[in-house]
Amino acid sequence: MMVVFLGPPGAGKGTQAARLAAKYGLPQISTGDMLREAVGAGTELGGRVKAIMASGDLVSDEVMLELVEDRLAKPDCSGGAILDGYPRTRGQAATLDPLTERLGLGEVKLVLSLDVPEEEVVNRISGRRQESAAMGERDDDKQEVVVERMRVYRELTEPLVDYYRDRSVLRQVDGVGTIDEVFGRLDEAMREAVQQ
């Protein structure tokens, strides 16, 4: 089953996607983590995307499609996957279903939109910034970069909520509460989708 996570930066997608993936035995595909790994390992891809990521902008749809296609073609994805951070543009969404169909994974069946007010995500990210500064991680959590990531989210990614609502696969989930509370809501949506 193909599942997509949507939500603003700092909504908790990564944490929740990992828990859901473990519970349902599906691989979690985090494009942000994959790109950060490429940057860390100094690969050719890493070199191409480093500055774009540091500024809070999006890597091109072409580069992302290639990355996601390679990953979804791996044997561990044969039963589907949980996508965390992809698609992030209409272009990415438009090519995703043809890709997953071609790979025999079926269309996206469930889109979990984690709803968290902007004020709350800004607070959460500044908390994360203090932690990650201590660990030398994620320079894209800097204040001005967070502002740019929020702008990019509103402009390019938020329209995907309507896109998937129109296709009747959207489940909006309240992302405010403890990690366990939010997980409970997501798990319920997931259970229903599995039964369908």
Tokens of residue 187, six digits = 């798990």
Dist CA 177 CA 104 (whole Å): 37
Looking at the chain, how many residues does it have?
Answer: 196
Per annotation, catalytic residue among 48, 128, 142, 165: 128
Q: What is the residue whose two structure tokens read 């997980």?
A: 183
Active-site option among 19, 149, 171, 185: 149
Q: Which is nearer to ligand ADP, 118 or 188 (CB)?
A: 118
What is the phi/psi pair of residue 91, to 5°? -60, -45
Q: Which is nearer to ligand ADP, 131 or 188 (CB)?
A: 131
Identify the three-state secondary structure at position 117.
coil
For residues 36-95, which are near ligand ADP according to CB under 6 A?
52-53, 56-59, 64, 85-86, 88, 92
Beta carbons of 82 and 3 less than 8 angstroms apart = yes
175 lines the binding site for ligand ADP (CB under 6 A): no
Q: Is 12 in the site for ligand ADP (CB under 6 A)?
A: no
Contact residues for ligand ADP (CB under 6 A)? 9, 31-32, 35, 52-53, 56-59, 64, 85-86, 88, 92, 140, 149
